[in-house]
Structure 1
Amino acid sequence: MELITSPHLEAPDDFYEALIEAHQGLSTEESHAFNARLLLVLANHIGSPSVLRQAFAAARPARSP
């Protein structure tokens, strides 16, 4: 299975709004903890180590030579 990197969300604006709402009222520390828990929940849903490794690579910032 390959990681989908092209636009794939059914309603990206709705997703973004829901994500911002989920963070409302949280301190910076709580927000970071929420993001970590969300990542683990989504990683569990994906389940495939190879797809998760592709996601790690895609999310890393580009390095300068």
Structure 2
Amino acid sequence: MAQHTPPTPRICPVCDGFASVAVTLGGRDARGHLRTITAHCPACQGSGTVPALRVREGAGA
């Protein structure tokens, strides 16, 4: 019997699925660790996917 493949999640069009990134602030702290901050995509809030409803928003009704 054939097995059904679940549909792939919709990838966020703003970040192309790379929802969270580490950005270096330059330099190192006193212990020698690289200083970074985490930035999340504002459209998908760091999930990398968007719900179907959000993808259809503004599609012209």
Q: Output the TM-score relative to the length of structure 2.
A: 0.17
Q: Specify the structure having the higher radius of gyration (Cα).
A: 2
Q: Which has the higher strand share?
A: 2
TM-score (norm 1): 0.16
Higher RCO (Cα < 8 Å, 6 or more apart) = 1
